[in-house]
A and B are shown apart, each in its own frame.
Chain A
Amino acid sequence: MKETTNKYLIVALLLGVVFHGSSIFFTLETTYDALIHLFFADHYANSWFEPWNYKWYTGFTVMGYPPLVHQSIALFSMIGGLKFGLFTVALIGILLFITGVYRFSLLITGHRTVAGYAALLAVFSSSFVETLHVFGQLPSIIGISVLMHALPEIYLWLKTGRYWYLATSLSLIAVTVTSHHVTPIFGMVFFIFPLIGMLIMDHSTEQVNTLKAVTFRSFINSFTKLFKRIITFGIASLIIIIGCILPYWINSKNNPITQVPIPHGSRDNFLEITSSGLVFFLIPWGILLLLLPYIFYRFYSRRYLFFGLSITILTVLGTGGSTPIPRFLLGETAFNILTLDRFTLWASIMSLPILGEFAFRFVQGDLKTLMQSKFGAVYHRISGGFLASLFVGMTIFTMSLGYFRPSQPQKIKMLPIVNFLNQDDHDKWRFLTLGFGDQMAWLSAQTNAMTVDGNYHSARRLPELTTRPIERLENSKFKGVAGIGSLQQFLTTPEKYNLKYIFSNDKFYDPILYFCGWQRLRQLENGIMVWERLNVPPIPSILPKDDVSKWQKILWGVIPLSTVLIAFLLNIQMLLVNALKTKIKASPEFLKFKSNYSVFSNSILKVSHIWSFILTVIFVLGIYNYYIKNDAQHSPENVILAYYDALDFKDFETAHQLINPENNKTIAQYMLEVSVTDGLLSSYAKLDALETKIINKNDSLATIKVTTKWITPLEKIERVDYKSLTKLNGKWYLDSEEIDTDLPPDQLYSNNTTSYFNQGRRRITTEQTHHEDVLKQPVLEVLSAKLVKFDKSYAIIGEVQNIDNVPADIVLKGTLYNDNNKALASYNAKYHIKHKLMPKETTAFKINFEGIAWSQTQDSIPKAFDPDEFTPIELEEQPTKFNLQAAGNVSGSDLYKQIIISDIEMQTQQIQGTLFNSGIQEVTIPQLLISYYNSDKTLSWVDHKFVKEGIRQQRKQSFEYHLIENISIKIINDSMENVFVNGLSNNSISNKIIPHRIDNHINSKLQPINHSEFSYIKIETNAYIGNPN
C-alpha cells in the first residue's frame, strides 16, 4: 500500500512555524526563563568545558542544570549571536513538539487522521502556548517533545524485540535527559509505565484475539513474556539517565539543595489565590476542561487503563495546594522543591491524542452523526463554532497574557549599563541590579562584570540567600519583608562581596540604599540610576571555586551534543523514509490497534453536556462574585478597599471618583494635593494588608477604622486611620481629608551652600589612577565607642566626628571578640548613623550585630520576618572586646543638613515635636537619631526613627517619638584601645589634630527626659532627598 503524506501534519507544521516562529520574537524575551537559558548559553559559548561560573552568586557551577539546550544555543550563537541561537533552538523545539505530538497520538490511537488532528490542535494548545510564550521553558518543551518521539520506539522495541528499536529509543531518552532532567524521571512514571501497560494489553489482545477477552491472567501471561524486554529497557534507560548527566547527579549529591523553599504559584491554593489558579490550572487545561469527561472516559477504557491512572495522578498533582493530596503524595521536601505546573502540562499533553480523536469524531466521525441525528445539524454547527471560538479565544488570551499582565518590567536597554561597566574598571567590582526582572540574566550574559545576585536559585550558595525564601535580591520587594531583609544585609556590608555598583530600575529601593550608606552616582541614558558605595575593595584577581575532576568536565562538554548526534544518525533513516516516502515500509506495529470510531457513546455525550453546564454555572458565579467584590461603591468597606487599591497603584483618577462630590474637590485640586505629599508612606510604601472595621454606621454616614500595613524598603508600617463616608444616591463616597494649609512667608528663597566636586582622574588615560589623583581620606575621630548588651543582643554604640576640612562619607565596621581574642562577629553601621558628615560634624552611631539569620535552614523560620525586628546574631561565646574601624572618603553628595528641630514638647514616654525644613530641597524621608544618656550624661543607647511624611521646603512637619521602655542595657566594654580611623589609631590622630579637645562639649545641651532608665536624650536629624535638584 502506498502511503500518502499526512496533510494535517504538514498543515500543523506550517502553521506552527509561522504562528510560533513569528510570535516568539515578541514574547520569548519577556518570559520568565528564556533569558536565564540565554545566560547559561553565554557561559557555554565562552567556556564550554569549564563548569564554574563566576558571574552569579559569587560563583556557582552550571552543572546544576542539564546542558543540552544551553549548549545548543551556544553552538548556534557562534553563527549569529546568542539571541539567534535562542530563537533557532525555540524553532527546533516547536517542530519537535508538533511532530512529537503527532507520533505520540499515532501511537495511542493508531489512526493517522486522528494523529493529524492532534498535531494541528497541539500547535494552538494553551498549555504549549503558555509554556513557550509565557514561561519560556525551552528545555522542558524539548525534553517532553523528544520523550514523545521516544515513545513509539519504546513500544516497537517491547513489541518486536528488535535491538534497532532499543537503540533508537535509548538514544532519544538520552537526548531527553540531557535537555531536561526532570522530564525523563517523571516521564518514566507517567508516560512510559502506562505505555508498557498498554503494550502488554496489546500483546495479550493478540494472544486472545479481542481486547474484550483480555483477562487479568492473560495480562500477566503477556507481562511475563515481555518481562525480559521491559527489564532490559528499564535498566538501559536508567543507565542512560544517570550516565549522560552524571556530573549533574554528582553535583546534586555534593551540594544538596538545603535552602529555604521559595514560594511558587503552582503550590498555592488556586481557589484562594485565583491568579495562580488562572496561570497554573485554567490556562494549561484550557478547552480540555470541557472535555474532561470524554478524556477520562477514553483513558479509562481497557486499552488505555494505565494512561487513565497516570493522567488522574497528574491532574491531582497539578492542583497544587488546592487539595492536600499533592503534598501528601510527594512528601514535604519534593512538594516544596518541584514546581507543580509541570504535572498539569504533562496531563494536558497526554490529553492531546484524545483531543485529536474528539475533534476527528466531532468534525467527520461518529460524534457528528450522533449529534446531527439527535440535535440537528444546526446545533452541531453551533457547538462546533462555540468550541472552536473557545479554543482560539484561549490561545489568544494566553498569548496576550504577557501583554496585559506583564511578568517583566519594560525592556531595558542594556548597552549604557554594559558601557558603564566597561568604563574606568567598573567591572573590577561586583554589581547588583534592582527591579530588572529576568532581564538581569541578559545583562549578565553581555558583560564580564559579576553580580552577587543570580537567577538560578538552586545554585545559590551564600547563606544570606539560601536562608531566605527569595529567589533573587533583584526583586526582593515582591518577597515582602524577607526579601528586603536579605537585601539589606548585602547593602550594609557590601565590602564582604566587593559590591560597589547598583543599577536601580525601581525607585522603591532608593531609601534603603541611601540609609545603608549608598550614594547616587548618575542616571544612565536608559533611565537606570547608578548607586555606588565608597570604601569597597575591588574583587581579588584570584577567586575561589569548587573544582571538579577533568573527566566530569569532558563528560559534561561532550556527551549532550553527542547524544543528539547519535539520535540523529539512528533516526535519520526512519525520518527520511517517512518524510519522503522513498520506499514502502511496513506500517508500525501500533497501527494494528485501531480504535473503533463508529458508535459514539450516547451517555458520554450526555455527561459532557451536563459537565459543560456545571462549568458554565461555576464560571458565571465566579464572574458575579468578582463583580460584587469589586463594585467599589456597593458598601463602605468596598469604597475603602477600592480607594486604597487605587492609591497603591497610583491610579489617582479612580481614587478621586470615590471622593464625596459634595466636598467640591476637583480632580486638579486632588492631584495637586497628592503631588505635594511625599514621604516614606506616600512614595515608597507597598500596601501589604488592609483591615476595615466599621466604628459606626447609619443610612447615610459611616466611620471606618482602617488599619493598613505597609511594606516600605526601610520598615514595616502599621497605620490606623479613621475615615468617614457618606452615602449619596445609593453610592458610598469617602469624605476628603484635611490638608495642611501652612503658607511660608516668602515666595522666593535663596540659599548659599558649598558644593564639592571630585575630579577622579584628571588625565584621560586608561592607566591606573595616578597617585596624585587619590584624595586624602578625611580624618575622623571616634569620640566614644562602647560595647553594650541589649537584652540578648550586642551592639557597639558611640559618636564619631569628621575632624577634617572636607565632607566625608563614613563607613564603620565593628568586630566583636571574646576574651581569647577570637573574632565572633563583624558588621557595619546601617541606619543608626549619618553616613555623610560635613567638616566638624558629629553623628551618633550604633552597629547592630545581625546574624546571617538562620544559618541552619532546618531551624524554624518565623513566618513573617520583620526587618525592624532584626535577627540578633547567635554567638557561641560571650563578646567582651570590640574593634571599630572607621573609614572616611571624600564625598560631595547628600550633604543636606537643613532639617531642624523647631519645637519639642515632652510628654510621659513620648516626645512630640516639629521638624522644619529650612532649606530649598524637598525632604522625602526625614530621620531622627536619638541618643540616650544616663544621669551621668554617659551615652547609653542609640535609637532611630523614620518620620513617615516628607517635608516640603520651608514647611513644618510634626513627629511623635516613643521613648524606649523596659530595656536592660549593660555596658560591657568602653575601652577605646582598638578604635582605628583609616587604619591608624584613633588616639594618635586625635592627639595630633585636636590636642585640646573640649570633652563632652555639648553635654549641657542635652534634652532632659522623664524616664526610669535614662535622664537625657540628644536628637540629630538626617534626611533623604528623593529628587535632588
Chain B
Amino acid sequence: MKLKIIYFHILVLTCVLSHDHISDRREDNTFSDIKLLTDKSVFQAGEPITLQFSSTNNSIAPQLYCTNSHGSTLLEPLKKGTLIDYKLPDYMTRKIGVLHWRLLNNNSLIRGSIEIVSKKQVAHMETYIGPPSIEAGGTDYTMLVVIPTDSLDNPLPDNTTVVTKHQFLTKISTDTVKTRHLIAYKNINSEIKSGRMLVSSESHNTNSKEFTINVLPSIPKGFTISAQRPHDYADGNQQTVFSTSVLKDSYGNVVSDGTFVSFFITTNNGNILKSYGKTIKGVAEARMIHPDHQSQWNVQAYVTGMAESNTITLTYKQVFKEFNVEFSDNNRTITVGPLQSFMKQMAPDGLEIKLYIYKNNELLEQRIKFSVDGFAHFKLKPNILENDTYDFKIKTAGIEQSFNSKTLW
C-alpha cells in the first residue's frame, strides 16, 4: 500500500515538473524552425482541413497529434519541399467543436486549435415529444424538443430559430423558439377541449415529421342515473339495467371510454350490493338481477373520488304471498309448489327453496333445492331421518312456512 502512495507522489511530481518544462518551451516558439502557415482557424463542418507548416530543416517531419470530441489521432506528415501538410481525416472535420492539435516535435512545442462550426443549412429536424397523451384543461402539457441539425448531423449553433406548429381542432398555432445549448424546446399546454393535436416544427425551411398528441378528457363531474326494468316484481330472474347520463368533465368533454363507474345499491335492511359499468361514449351501464324477495333499493353511482350521481329508489314487489306444500309417501316426500308468479304463471326455473329440518328445536339439516317448472321435491331418506317426529320450515322468495310435529314412518 505504502509503495503505491510513493509511486503516486512520484508520478504527480513528474507531471508537475514536466508541465513547467513545457511552459518554458512555449516561449521558445518563435525560435523553432517549424511554423504554421495556415491562418484560418474557423472551418465549416465537412470542409477539408489541411494544416500547413513550413520547415527550415528538411529532415524534420514530426507527427501531428490532434484531438476533438470524437477522439484523438496521430497524423503523418506530407512533405512538399519545405512545406509540411497535415490533412485531417474526414470524420474529424465532420464534427463540430474545437479541435486541438499539437506537433510531436522533440525540439519545441508547437500547438494550437481550430474551430469547426456546423453548416448553415438545416438538413434534419431531430424531434422528441412526450408524454404522448395529456389531459384537457389547460394545465397539463407536453414538451416538444427540437434539435435542428445539418447534413452531417451536427446541431446548429445556439439562437437558431425554430418554429413550432400545432394543430388542434380548427386552430393551427405557431410559435418561435431559439435553440439554446443546441436544443430548442416548447411546452404545449392542452386546451379545455379533448381531441387530437398534431405537432410539427420547422427551421430554415426544413420541416420535421408529424407527431400526434392525444388530449384526453379530464376527470368526470357529477351525473345522473336511471333504471330500466321489464317489471317491478322480485322474481329473482329478470334484470334491471342502470344507466348513467353522459359522463363529462368540467369542460364538457365526454370522458374516455372504459371509465369505471360503481353502482351501490343499499337495500332496505342496510346491506350494500354492487354492480359495475364501464362507459361507452360517456354512458355506463350496469346490470343487476332482480331480488327473489320483496325489497327496496336505493341506488347511487360513483366514480371514486371524483364524481357521484343522484340516488334513485326502486321497489320490488313480492311475486307470491304464499305457496303450497304437500307431504306424501309416509311424509318422506315434500312437494313444494306450484310456485306461481305474479300472473299465476309458474315461477321461472331456479327459484331457491330452503328446507330446514328441526328435531326438538335443534336444526338437524338445511337443504337447498331449485324449482323446476314451479315445483321442488325433497326426499327424506330413512337412513338419514329415522322414523320419528320432526319440525320442518320451508323458505322461498323471502316468505316461510313451518310444519311442526310431522311424523315420518
Contacts and interface: CB of A to CB of B under 8 A. Distances in A.
Interface of A: 695-698, 701-703, 724, 738, 740-745, 752-754, 756, 771-772, 775-776, 783, 801, 803, 805-807, 837-842, 895, 897-898, 900-906, 916, 918, 956, 992-994, 997-999, 1001-1002, 1005-1008, 1019, 1021
Contact of B369 (A696, A738, A838): A738
Given A905-B271, A918-B239, A741 B370 contact: yes
A998 B305 contact: yes
Given A724-B384, A742-B370, A776-B131, A902 B305 contact: no
B288 A701 contact: no
A801 B349 contact: no
Nearest to B350: A742
B350 A900 contact: no
Interface in B112-142: 128-133, 135, 139-140
Given A901-B273, A1007-B271, A1019-B274, A841 B305 contact: no
Interface of B: 128-133, 135, 139-140, 211, 216-217, 219-220, 237-239, 255-262, 264, 266-267, 270-276, 278, 280, 285-289, 291, 300, 302-306, 308, 348-350, 369-372, 381-384
A897 B260 contact: yes
Contacts of A753: 278, 280
A997 B305 contact: yes
A754 B288 contact: no
A743 B348 contact: yes
Given A900-B274, A992-B139, A998 B306 contact: yes
Residue among B264, B275, B308, B383 with max Cβ neighbours from chain A (10 Å): B383
Given A703-B384, A741-B371, A903-B291, A1001 B308 contact: yes
Given A741-B350, A840-B260, A1001 B304 contact: yes
Nearest to B132: A776
A820 B104 CA distance: 58
A837 B303 CA distance: 13
Given A698-B382, A904-B273, 17 more contacts: A701-B383, A703-B381, A724-B384, A738-B369, A742-B370, A754-B258, A756-B258, A775-B132, A805-B217, A839-B259, A840-B259, A897-B276, A900-B287, A992-B140, A998-B305, A1005-B300, A1021-B274
Nearest to A777: B131
Pairs of residues from A and B, 8 with the lowest C-beta to C-beta distance, nearest first: A742-B350, A805-B256, A841-B260, A701-B383, A918-B287, A838-B260, A743-B349, A1005-B264
A1006 B348 contact: no
B383 A698 contact: yes
Given A743-B348, A993-B135, A701 B381 contact: yes
Nearest to B140: A992
A916 B384 contact: no
Contact of B302 (A807, A993, A1001, A1019): A1001
A900 B348 contact: no
Contacts of A696: 383-384
Nearest to A699: B383
Contacts of A895: 258
Given A776-B133, A897-B260, A1001 B305 contact: yes
A803 B287 CA distance: 24
Residue among B139, B217, B271, B370 with max Cβ neighbours from chain A (10 Å): B271
Name the prevailing secondary structure of the B interface residues.
strand
B383 A702 contact: yes
Contact of B219 (A695, A742, A993): A993
A807 B304 contact: no
Nearest to B372: A741
A756 B278 CA distance: 13
B406 to A, nearest CB: 20
Contacts of A842: 304-305
B274 A783 contact: no
Contacts of A838: 258-260, 278
A79 B274 CA distance: 68
B15 to A, nearest CB: 33
A993 B220 CA distance: 12
A903 B273 contact: yes
A743 B274 CA distance: 22
Nearest to A902: B289
Contacts of A742: 349-350, 370
Contacts, number: 164
B219 A754 contact: no
Contacts of B350: 740-743
A998 B370 CA distance: 44
Contacts of A840: 219-220, 259-261, 303-304, 306
A898 B238 CA distance: 16
Residue among B220, B275, B288 with max Cβ neighbours from chain A (10 Å): B275
Given A897-B260, A918-B287, A1001-B304, A701 B382 contact: yes
A803 B382 contact: no
Contacts of A776: 130-133
Contacts of A839: 256, 258-260
Contact of A803 (B131, B219, B280, B383): B219
A999 B273 contact: no
B266 to A, nearest CB: 7
A918 B288 contact: yes
A687 to B, nearest CB: 25
Contacts of A997: 305-306
B127 to A, nearest CB: 10
Contacts of B267: 904
Contact of B272 (A803, A807, A992, A1005): A1005
Nearest to B384: A703
Contacts of B302: 1001-1002, 1005
Nearest to A743: B349
Nearest to A994: B219
Contacts of A738: 369-370
Contacts of A900: 273-276, 286-288
B266 A902 contact: no
A993 B308 CA distance: 18
B221 to A, nearest CB: 10
Contact of B276 (A898, A998, A1002): A898
A189 B302 CA distance: 79
Residue among A783, A895, A903 with max Cβ neighbours from chain B (10 Å): A903
A738 B237 CA distance: 20
Given A745-B238, A900-B287, A1006 B272 contact: yes
A1007 B272 contact: yes
Residue among B140, B258, B270, B348 with max Cβ neighbours from chain A (10 Å): B258
Given A839-B256, A903-B273, A703 B383 contact: yes
Contacts of A805: 133, 135, 216-217, 255-256, 258-259
Contacts of A695: 384
B369 A916 contact: no
A1002 B264 contact: yes
Contacts of B128: 771
Residue among A752, A807, A838, A997 with max Cβ neighbours from chain B (10 Å): A838
A1023 to B, nearest CB: 11
B274 A901 contact: yes
Contacts of A1021: 274
B257 to A, nearest CB: 4
B21 to A, nearest CB: 43
Contacts of B382: 698, 701
Contacts of A898: 276, 287
B168 to A, nearest CB: 17
A918 B275 contact: yes
Given A741-B371, A1006-B272, A754 B278 contact: yes
A830 to B, nearest CB: 23
B124 to A, nearest CB: 15
A695 B385 CA distance: 12
30 contacts: A697-B383, A741-B371, A742-B370, A743-B349, A745-B238, A771-B130, A776-B130, A783-B305, A803-B219, A805-B216, A805-B255, A805-B256, A838-B258, A840-B260, A840-B261, A840-B306, A841-B304, A842-B305, A897-B260, A902-B291, A903-B291, A905-B271, A956-B289, A992-B139, A993-B219, A994-B219, A1001-B305, A1001-B308, A1002-B264, A1005-B264
